[in-house]
Structure 1
């Protein structure tokens, strides 16, 4: 069961973060202010999917590692504190702050500054989670390289 939970939860987490990021970029570049408000207020609700998915992926991953700390497993484990820290210290507070700002119709310099930080931090997490997925696929022999 853990062998099913880990990749499924990891994929859900990666897709959720990528959806937040892409929705934000598309809304900012091409949509109305009302759409931006909708996107920025919806993202915190997405935490109800994202946080359990990350917890499940992390817990199942540690169970699958069975104490191993070298090779691709070790690389995945070393990325996890960065992913979690980035999420807890930057992404979640930024999303909550931005949701409050759009509800108050405050599209000011602070909003766009925090938005830029959030987009960079989100891109970093997408890359790190993608690297973990790639390494997981390599360990399973699904990329043609180990």
Structure 2
């Protein structure tokens, strides 16, 4: 009894990169926190994945995220399918993907964030990438929250 245009469907956001071991994992973690902070648990679904997933999240990413209160040690990179991505409202690629969503392309807001890969970078550079990701995730939430919510609420 559910339809694609059902207004109760959650907003689906995917964060995608090749290995799903760095940028997309950081993005998903920040998005989960933003979703919680804004009380959108039942309204936002967050996916992350890669086209060729690594065995584990990069150590420098785990360390950088731990500095700001995230524990990514138990996260495992996973493959994400084109079908999953076609069901999303927003897909953020990290600058390393050539996604082809076929006919759904017009229905999915795909953004390439063009971020450097943190793998093998020094701690300072990984922190810069992390902080940029946090800003972009917050801006994305601002964008669709503003579109969904009536002005003046707080």
TM-score range, shorter chain: 0.3 to 0.5
Q: Which has the larger radius of gyration?
A: 1
TM-score, reference length from structure 2: 0.40
Q: Which has the bigger relative contact order, CA under 8 A and spacing at least 6?
A: 1
TM-score by length of 1: 0.41
Instruction: Indicate the structure with greater helix content.
Output: 1
Decide which structure has greater strand share: 2
